[in-house]
C-alpha cells in the first residue's frame, strides 16, 4: 500500500527555516514525481514545488523561488522541502503528493495529476 508521510512542520519565527520530509513507501521515486502543496485557511491548495523522477528537474511557484528548495534522497525514498526566510504568509498545511511522470503538459502544479497524498504537516510562521 502506497504511503506518503510528511514530517518536519512546526512553529517558527519569521525569517526562520524548516525542512519538511516526505517519506514514501511502496512507491519508487524513479517513476513518480513528488510535489509539495500547501493550503492556508480559507484558501485553495496551491503547488509550491515539484521534483521529477527522471533527471530530478525541479519546479517552483514564483512565490517561493529563491526561498524553497526541493531535493530527494533516493536511498531513503524521501523527498525534502527546505524552506528558508519564512514569512507569515507561508503559514499553511503542507502536503506532499506523488504522480506518475510525465504529467500532461508538464503541469506540475495541477493537483489532479497526483495519485497519492500524504496527511499534511502544519507550518506556522509567527512571532
The answer to whether residues 59 and 48 touch, using CB atoms and an 8 Å cutoff, is: no
Residue 115 in this model has a pLDDT that exceeds 90: yes
High-pLDDT (> 90) share of the chain, %: 91
d(CA 53, CA 35): 11
d(CA 96, CA 114): 10
The answer to whether residues 73 and 90 touch, using CB atoms and an 8 Å cutoff, is: no
**pLDDT tens string 54-99:** 889 999 999 999 999 999 999 999 999 999 999 999 999 999 999 9
Residue with cell 525569517: 15
Amino acid at each position: 500500500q502506497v504511503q506518503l508521510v510528511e514530517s518536519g512542520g512546526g512553529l517558527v519565527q519569521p525569517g526562520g527555516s524548516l525542512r519538511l520530509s516526505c517519506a514514501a513507501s511502496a512507491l519508487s521515486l524513479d517513476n513518480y514525481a513528488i510535489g509539495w502543496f500547501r493550503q492556508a485557511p480559507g484558501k485553495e491548495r496551491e503547488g509550491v514545488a515539484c521534483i521529477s523522477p527522471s533527471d530530478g528537474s525541479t519546479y517552483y511557484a514564483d512565490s517561493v523561488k529563491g526561498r524553497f528548495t526541493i531535493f530527494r534522497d533516493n536511498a531513503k525514498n524521501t523527498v525534502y522541502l527546505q524552506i528558508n526566510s519564512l514569512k507569515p504568509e507561508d503559514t499553511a498545511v503542507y502536503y506532499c503528493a506523488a504522480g506518475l511522470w510525465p504529467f500532461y503538459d508538464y503541469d506540475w502544479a495541477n493537483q489532479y495529476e497526483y495519485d497519492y497524498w500524504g496527511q499534511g504537516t502544519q507550518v506556522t510562521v509567527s512571532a
